[in-house]
């Protein structure tokens, strides 16, 4: 386990702002309830719905999930190729909470933090505070799946111990305590998959934390000064993963920028510019400006734009309702008097709008342009559904009188339509083929 030395500087200040914003957003978002009563963000697994910024998404909308995952993947490709491992150093929870744990350790133990001669009471005080932070973070992580208001009420009434989320919270609390408290940089160096394929996404033009070997090498050897690097090794001392940035791009580098601040402060004493900063390898080798527009960034940008455009169109045109229609296999269509066909259909209807809506059912014979009578057991085939509510019903469809020729066509193509009773333009149509009984 590596305990790096704290370091102040411009990069540190900016990272503090970004990290505070991300942690604050993570802790606040689960508590936000929109005016219509839906949570800002919540994956409600029992109800099989996903609340996201006022929208309600269901598992049947697989295309939207596909667009989301593709957008995340291409964003990772694009931004890594342009600005390197910015996610690892500025947004990854592993980095953020490791930094927070270190702050707690130094607050309690001061200069003894990470040293063997630290007091036992101090060490266990640090461990206790780490567990508290882990519990708070785990509680809020579970709050993205279960209402935090309900969980707080259950904890106060001691009813939480009988709930499954309580044991998930305990598991994540223990996992976070062990990971952030003791595994720490080993996860970044040996377990993180992103660290493995980052080198494939970056090239000599990527803007990343880089050592200027042209100026720095060869390093100072004793009193013999050759390059600008004075071999103070501060860049290694402050590194949270214990690497030496002067050895080039490595899997363990999370691009946190602590070595940038350290080198900047040391070089300032020599009245020289920092040897470590946000540069591109090509910029150091040739002194040329960073080439932002290049084949890989253009390809990633085009693909990302196409996917985002597709996702936007899909979101704009999505219907705020879902309906699954299936013919009842155990009760095939039958012929009734007056040459009419009666069919039995099972429907599963869900309101995926953030507010309650009233719906109406209708059906049509699409081949002959005739209306089909719908018997649903609801008055005027109208019913109300709350946000996310599901209604499973069996309906009876009855055609108008069919001619002998129409009866001999073998099947009847039809459609069943679900309308918003207050907005006829909001409709969802499902095709349905009715097998005509043999005569």
The whole-angstrom separation of Cα 414 and Cα 397 is 10
- Over residues 369-398, the pLDDT tens digits come to 788 888 888 888 889 998 888 888 888 888
So where are the chain's domains? 10-56+90-191, 321-435
Secondary structure string (H, E, C) spanning 6-60: CCCCHHHHHHHHHHHHHHHHHHHHHHCECCCCCECEEEECCCCEEEECCEEECCC
- Over residues 318-332, the pLDDT tens digits come to 888 888 888 877 787
The whole-angstrom separation of Cα 210 and Cα 17 is 23
- Give yes or no for a contact between 362 and 399, defined as CB atoms under 8 angstroms apart: no
- Class (C level, CATH) for 321-435: mainly beta
- Over residues 231-256, the pLDDT tens digits come to 899 999 999 999 999 998 888 889 99
Helices (H) then strands (E): counts for the chain: 15, 14
Instruction: Give one DSSP letter per residue of 219-268, joined into a string.
Output: PPBTTB--SS-----HHHHT-TT---GGG-S-TT-----HHHHHHHHHHH
The whole-angstrom separation of Cα 145 and Cα 358 is 28
Check residue 199 and give its pLDDT: 74
The whole-angstrom separation of Cα 250 and Cα 261 is 19
Read off the tokens for 90: 């500025």
- If pLDDT is split at 50, 70 and 90, which confidence band does 223 have? low
Chain centre to alpha carbon of residue 308 = 15
Check residue 222 and give its pLDDT: 66
Stretch among 96-100, 293-297, 384-388 having the lowest mean pLDDT: 384-388
Check residue 438 and give its pLDDT: 64
- Over residues 130-173, the pLDDT tens digits come to 999 999 999 999 999 999 999 999 999 999 999 999 999 999 99
- Over residues 324-365, the pLDDT tens digits come to 888 877 787 888 888 888 888 888 999 888 888 899 898 888
Mean pLDDT score across all residues of the chain: 89
Name the one residue in this structure whose structure tokens are 């339509």.
Answer: 417
- Give yes or no for a contact between 142 and 151, defined as CB atoms under 8 angstroms apart: yes
pTM (two decimals): 0.84
- Give yes or no for a contact between 430 and 325, defined as CB atoms under 8 angstroms apart: yes
């Amino acid at each position: 386990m590596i305990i790096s030395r704290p370091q102040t500087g411009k990069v540190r200040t900016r990272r503090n702002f970004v990290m505070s914003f991300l942690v604050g957003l993570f802790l606040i978002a689960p508590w936000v309830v929109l005016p219509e009563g839906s949570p800002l963000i919540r994956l409600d697994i029992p109800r099989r719905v996903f609340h996201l910024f006022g929208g309600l998404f269901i598992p049947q909308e697989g295309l939207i999930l596909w667009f989301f995952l593709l957008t995340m993947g291409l964003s990772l490709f694009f931004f890594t190729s342009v600005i390197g491992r910015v996610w690892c150093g500025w947004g990854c929870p592993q980095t953020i909470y490791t930094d927070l744990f270190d702050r707690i350790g130094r607050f309690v133990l001061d200069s003894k933090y990470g040293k063997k001669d630290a007091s036992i009471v101090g060490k266990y005080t640090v461990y206790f505070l780490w567990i508290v932070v882990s519990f708070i973070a785990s509680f809020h992580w579970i709050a993205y799946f279960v209402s935090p208001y309900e969980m707080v009420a259950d904890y106060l009434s001691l009813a939480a111990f009988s709930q499954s989320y309580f044991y998930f919270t305990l598991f994540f609390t223990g996992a976070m305590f062990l990971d952030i408290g003791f595994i720490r940089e080993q996860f970044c160096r040996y377990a993180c998959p992103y660290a493995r394929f980052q080198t494939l996404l970056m090239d000599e033009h990527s803007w990343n934390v880089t050592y200027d070997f042209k100026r720095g090498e060869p390093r100072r050897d004793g009193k013999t000064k050759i390059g600008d690097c004075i071999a103070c090794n501060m860049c290694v001392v402050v590194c949270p993963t214990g690497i030496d940035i002067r050895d080039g791009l490595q899997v363990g580098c999370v691009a946190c920028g602590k070595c940038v601040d350290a080198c900047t402060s040391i070089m300032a004493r020599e009245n020289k510019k920092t040897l470590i900063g946000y540069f591109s390898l090509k910029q150091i080798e040739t002194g040329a400006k960073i080439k932002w527009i290049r084949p890989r960034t253009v390809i990633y940008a085009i693909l990302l734009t196409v996917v985002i455009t597709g996702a936007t169109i899909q979101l704009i045109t999505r219907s705020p309702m879902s309906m699954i229609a299936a013919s009842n296999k155990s009760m095939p269509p039958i012929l009734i008097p007056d040459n009419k066909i009666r069919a039995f259909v099972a429907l599963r209807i869900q309101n995926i709008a953030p507010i309650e809506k009233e719906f109406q059912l209708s059906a049509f014979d699409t081949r002959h342009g005739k209306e089909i009578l719908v018997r649903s057991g609801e008055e005027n085939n109208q019913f109300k559904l709350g946000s996310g509510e599901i209604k499973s019903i069996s309906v009876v469809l009855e055609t108008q009188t069919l001619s002998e020729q129409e009866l001999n066509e073998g099947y009847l193509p039809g459609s069943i339509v679900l309308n918003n009773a207050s907005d006829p333009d909001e409709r969802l149509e499902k095709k349905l083929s009715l097998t005509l009984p043999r005569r």
